[in-house]
Structure 1
Amino acid sequence: MKSPVAAAVVHLDGKVLITRRAPGEKLAGMWEFPGGKLEHLETPEDCITRELREELGVESNAGEILTTTVYTYPGGTIELIAIMVSLQSTQFTLQVHDQFEWVVPQDLLRYDLAPADIPIAEEIVRKYG
C-alpha cells in the first residue's frame, strides 16, 4: 500500500524552497521539498497547508499539482504529490528541519536530495530551469 505524502513546491523570485532534515529525523541531513503524510480523508491541498504551518510556521495557499512520483523506501512505499504553493510569509520557524535555502531550479540536483524528491526536482528543472 502506498502512503500519500504532499510536498510543497514554493517559487519566489525565480528560486525554489528546499529544507534540510534535522539530526535525529528520518533522512537526517538530506534536502527535501517540505511537506508530510496526508491524514485520513485529507486532500493533498489541505495537507500541505497544514504541514507548512506545523513544519515552518507559515500560512500558505495550495495551487495546482505539479507532478506525482512513487518511491519505495525500506520502510514502505510513498506517493509523493508535489503541489505548487504560495506562502503568505517567509519568516520560518523550523521544527523538523535545521536549514532552508532558496535555490535556482538548475542548481536543485546539486543538493543531496531525499530519493523521492529527485524526480520532483527534475520536473522543476524541466519546466522552470
Structure 2
Amino acid sequence: MNERITTCGIVLECKKVLVAKRSVGAKTCGLWEFVGGKNRYHESEEETLIREFDEELGVKVEVGEYLDGVDFVNNDTLYHLKAYRVSLLDNSFRLSVHSEIKYVSKEELLTLEMVPSDLMLINKLIEKGLI
C-alpha cells in the first residue's frame, strides 16, 4: 500500500475556526474542510501548507505548531493527515477550489457536513481542547 502525507491548517480567530466548502466538480464537492492538501515529495509539511493556502485561498500564511493527526485509507493509499496551527498574514481571499469560506464556532463546526478525514481530526482536536 502506498503512503502519503497530507496537511491541513487550523486557523483560529476569536475562538472560531476557518473552514472552506469545496466547489462543484471536485471529488468532495459540497463538503466543508480545513484548507490544506497533499504533500509533494520534495516539500516539508510547512511548505505544503504555505503552497496550499496560496493556491486555494490566495493568502500568505505562517505555519505554527503541529497539533495532531489521523490516518485514513483512500484508493489503496494510506494517508497521514497532519494538522498545524496556521496564522493568516493577510485577508485578501481569492477562492479557487472553494465556493465559500467562513469562521465557525466549535458548536457550528460539529453541525457542518465535513470531509470524513477532517471530521476524524475535529474530534481529536476538540478532545484535546485545541479548537
Instruction: Provide TM-score, normalisation by structure 2.
Output: 0.91
**Which residue does 2:73 correspond to in 1?**
72
Aligned counterpart, 1:96? 97
Q: Cα RMSD between the aligned structures? A: 1.4
Asked whether the equivalents of residues 69 and 82 of structure 2 are also in contact (C-alpha less than 8 Å), the reply is: yes
Contact 2:68 2:125 in 1 (8 A): no
Structure 2: where are the runs of 5+ without partners? none
3-state secondary structure, aligned to 1:123: helix
Alignment partner, residue 17 of structure 2: 16
Amino acid at match of 1:55: E
Question: Amino acid of the residue matched to residue 112 of structure 2?
Answer: Y
Work out the CA distance in 1 between the residues paired with 2:72 and 2:130: 23
Instruction: Supply the distance in 2 between the matched residues of 1:2 and 1:20 (Cα, whole angstroms).
Output: 26
| AA of the residue aligned to 2:82 | I
Q: Structure 1 runs of 4+ off > 6 angstroms?
A: none
- Equivalent pairs, count: 129
User: d(CA) in 2 for partners of 1:109 and 1:14?
Assistant: 14
Look up the match of 2:57: 56
Instruction: Give the 3-state SS of the residue equivalent to 1:67 in structure 2.
Output: strand
Q: Does 1:120 align with 2:91?
A: no
* Residues 1:26 and 2:44 aligned together: no
User: In structure 1, how many angstroms separate the alpha carbons of the residues matched to 2:130 and 2:106?
Assistant: 7
SS of the counterpart of 1:110? coil
Contact 2:67 2:130 in 1 (8 A): no
Percent of matched pairs sharing the same residue: 31
Separation in structure 1 between the aligned mates of residue 46 and residue 130 of structure 2, nearest angstrom: 22
Mark the CA change 1:128 to 1:5 in structure 2 (over 3 Å): closer, same or farther.
closer
TM-score by length of 1: 0.93
Unaligned runs of 5+ in 1: none
Cα separation, 1, equivalents of 2:22 and 2:121 = 17
Q: Which residue of 2 aligns with 1:85?
A: 86
